[in-house]
Amino acid sequence: MFSGIRGRIVAAYFLITGLLFLLGGGMLIAGLNAYYISGIESILTRQAEWNANFFQDYWSRPDRVADLSLAASQLVSSFTQGTQARVQIVDLEGRLLADSHDSLLQEEVGQAPEVQAALRGEPGTYRGANPATGEAILAVARPLRQGGVVSGALRISSSLMVVRRVIRNVTLIWLLVTAAALTFAAAVGSFLAGTVVRPLSEITSAAERIARGNLNVTVARRFNDEIGRLADTLNHMTRELRRLDRLKSEFISSISHELRTPLTSIKGFVITLLEGLPVEEQELRRGLEIINRETDRLTGLVEELLDFSRLAAGQLTLRLSPVDLAGLVQDTAEQMRPRAVRQGIDLQITIKDPFPPVEADADRLKQVLVNLVDNALKFTPAGGRIIVALERLGQNLALKVCDTGVGIDPQELPLVTQRFYRGRQAPSSGSGLGLALCEEIIGLHGGRLEIASQPGQGTTVTVLLPAR
């Protein structure tokens, strides 16, 4: 019954309201009972003490009746004026001398604990059942003194049945109020649960549609709370999924083109050779260079795809060993220099300080550096400059590749390291995986990749590695 959110919320409201009313009702009823009984006890006590003092004054009068047994009836009649309480007088032996209420039941008043206390000269109080009738009573007893000596006891008692009826009526009223409050709490809990369950049901339904492949799903934000933020998160997720799906489609299209172009070039020249047509030595050499270049392109593309596959599967690992980072930077940059010369770009290498070996994967770091310099060469026009620098920066070693190329639009800057992303100014070639792979490789080394760029002024990519 309470397995769903609605049931649990309603049950929580029901239980909390029930407990509050149970505790509140218990305290109220106990307080009322104590208040009424305390009031009755206070009245009876005042009457008993006043009557005991009256008896003492009466005993000092010259016209008194000397025998208590003879004066008892007169005294009881005097004591009962203005009260409905029962007044009884007993002598020292505990015999009942006078009773304001005629009763056919014989009560052992003299044996009552409050009377025994009064006969000892002490005030006595009793609250409980009348031994003769079983009725709930409150009794107060005070000693009667003749010349300072206890000669008997005065007992004033009152039924508590009226109090019991009042408490019972209050209890019934409170139970009705509690039932109404519980009904109201259940209704409020059900309503509030609906404000939670309905949006969650919509979000669940949307998530199921997304799981079936429908990415054009949006969820309305009904409230500005955690569920509203959950709806916003789901909508953001669907937008990102649509974007990634679009990038994936573009990536597949781009990869298809990237694979088709070199294969077309290779196949065209191979067909020429197979047809046995005469080919000059210079043209043959140019064809073989094309095959070699396009084969290298295909090899690089396949390696990049394999790395991406390992990255997606969480299997991209490092083979760590002490690496001379300065030597690695120098050698890699020199390997890229002939391409820079062909493009009319000034490639500079700046290594400011000697560096101790670092624990790293030399092949992966070289892959990162080649990718960064390759990007710089792609986006830097002839006559531009590329600087590859290595320096110490606090607790890190900073490898920087700075160029004077076209730069990156500020809106695109946060996206360039995402998988499949290719900027608006990107050349037709490329998979859109290079910077994403670089960032992952640097992250595996415990470092980070930072990119700063201004359109028309160039780009600086900084690789920060722990100097350990």
CA distance 277 to 287: 14
Tokens of 145: 């003194």
Tell me the CATH number of domain 321-466, given options 3.40.50.300, 1.10.1740.10, 3.40.640.10, 3.30.565.10: 3.30.565.10
Query: Strand (E) positions, 104-175?
Result: 124-129, 136-146, 149-159
**Which pLDDT belongs to residue 79?**
67
Residue labelled with tokens 């409150």: 138
CA distance 171 to 174: 5
CA distance 100 to 73: 8
Question: Per-domain residue ranges for the chain?
Answer: 35-158, 239-312, 321-466
Query: Nearest-CA neighbor of 465 among 308, 318, 300?
Result: 318
CA distance 346 to 203: 56
What is the chain's pLDDT, residue by residue, as a tens digit (468 residues)? 456 777 777 888 888 888 988 898 889 888 988 888 889 889 888 888 888 887 777 766 665 555 666 667 767 777 666 677 888 888 888 888 888 876 644 567 888 888 899 889 899 999 988 887 888 889 999 998 877 788 888 888 888 888 888 889 999 998 999 889 888 888 888 887 777 778 888 888 888 888 888 888 888 887 787 888 888 888 888 888 887 777 677 666 666 666 676 777 777 777 777 776 666 777 777 778 778 877 877 776 777 677 666 666 666 778 889 988 889 999 988 988 988 999 999 999 998 777 788 888 888 898 889 889 988 998 899 999 999 999 888 888 899 999 998 888 888 888 787 766 666 555 545 556 778 888 888 888 899 999 999 888 899 999 999 876
Tokens of 280: 């000059």
**Which pLDDT belongs to residue 459?**
92
User: Under CATH, which number does the domain 35-158 receive?
Assistant: 3.30.450.20
Query: Nearest-CA neighbor of 89 among 149, 159, 145?
Result: 145
**Which pLDDT belongs to residue 224?**
81
- Three-state secondary structure call for residue 213: coil
What is the DSSP code (8-state) at residue 123?
A: -
When computed from its CA atoms, the radius of gyration of the chain, rounded to whole angstroms, is 51
Query: Nearest-CA neighbor of 229 among 194, 200, 190?
Result: 200
Exposed/middle/buried for 168, CB within 10 Å: 0-12, 13-18, 19+? exposed
**CB 401 within 8 Å of CB 370:** no
| CATH 1.10.287.130 given to domain 239-312 | yes
